[in-house]
Structure 1
Amino acid sequence: MLWLKAFHVIAVVTWFAGLFYLPRLFVYHAEASESVVRERFKIMERRLLVMTNIGATLTLIFGVATLAWWLMHVPGYFKANAWLHAKLLLVVLLYAYHGYLVRLTREFAEDRCTRSSRWLRIFNEVPALLLIGIVILVVVQPFKG
């Protein structure tokens, strides 16, 4: 069980590295005016998205495995922990955010992104807010039944 948790946390850290940095690259990309610089950002964004996708996939695998362990070893675990329901809702929002990053990466690769650097800077804060909520729910477990 502890191994599952450890690998889950490692995967989450990997995933969040991409969730934090990829939108920052978008800001710089949106502000770049030279074509050679914009092409370099496209390569960086594509490569970082690959790492981010790996982190997201491993997070899901180890998260589901950890949850399955709890469900097998603690009867009623899912029903008794409302904090877990709230955490999973925030995780779903993170995966939706990740999906939007995939879309933005494609738009930038095709020179179709119309979002301003200001919008992208604000968008860049979303995963931090979700992370704060998730960590508080996991550590404090405020709705524990």
Structure 2
Amino acid sequence: MLYLWVKALHIFFVIAWMAGVFYLPRIFVNLAMETDKNTTARLLLMARKLYRFSMWLSVFAVVFGAILVYLAYGAHMPGWLHAKLTLVVLVIGYHHACGGILKKFERGENKRSHKWFRVFNELPVFAMLAIVLLVVVKPF
């Protein structure tokens, strides 16, 4: 029964975290196109709050995920889980990179175009698809 509670909480926090990871770069697209200082200030405030909130969600997602791995596999993890955890580490790195990008926007140092951010915005979608496929299909 504990396993199912932990699994449910892990899924909830992953979904909430991914919502932030998907939306934050979309705010960057808008920031890269914006010229009005008031709108820029509002977008920066939104981005800052979303980044902080989604960071906490990521912590809970990782904690419940670690508990889940311990309960289900202990020290003997299957190959698909190693691949999934590698992708999770990359998504965590992506999220932290978003924090660095946000700081550049706050300092007025962004040099990237809205087109670059549109491509950057799609990267976590592919990572999430791969993670879901690994978890559901368990190919190896």
User: What is the TM-score of this pair, normalised by structure 2?
Assistant: 0.95
TM-aligned CA deviation for residue 71 of structure 1:
3.2
Which residue number corresponds to residue 45 of structure 1? Answer: 47
Superposed CA RMSD: 1.0
Cα separation, 2, equivalents of 1:71 and 1:83:
12
Which residue number corresponds to residue 125 of structure 2? Answer: 128
Which residue number corresponds to residue 137 of structure 1? Answer: 134
Cα separation, 2, equivalents of 1:34 and 1:22:
19
Which residue number corresponds to residue 5 of structure 1? Answer: 7
Structure 1 position 20 matched with structure 2 position 22: yes
Which residue number corresponds to residue 109 of structure 1? Answer: 106
Q: Which runs of 5+ in 2 are unaligned?
A: none
Which residue number corresponds to residue 38 of structure 2? Answer: 36
Cα separation, 1, equivalents of 2:25 and 2:17:
13
Q: After the TM superposition, which parts of structure 1 deviate over 3 Å for at least 4 consecutive aligned residues?
A: none
Cα separation, 2, equivalents of 1:26 and 1:5:
32
Asked if 2 retains the 8 angstrom alpha-carbon contact of 1:14 and 1:55, the reply is: yes
Q: Which runs of 5+ in 1 are unaligned?
A: none
Asked if 2 retains the 8 angstrom alpha-carbon contact of 1:70 and 1:77, the reply is: no
SS at match of 2:111: coil
Residue-pair matches, total: 138
Which residue number corresponds to residue 87 of structure 1? Answer: 84
Percent identity over paired residues: 38
TM-aligned CA deviation for residue 77 of structure 1:
3.4
- Paired amino acid for 1:41: L
- Paired amino acid for 1:2: L
Asked if 2 retains the 8 angstrom alpha-carbon contact of 1:26 and 1:120, the reply is: yes
Asked if 2 retains the 8 angstrom alpha-carbon contact of 1:45 and 1:105, the reply is: yes
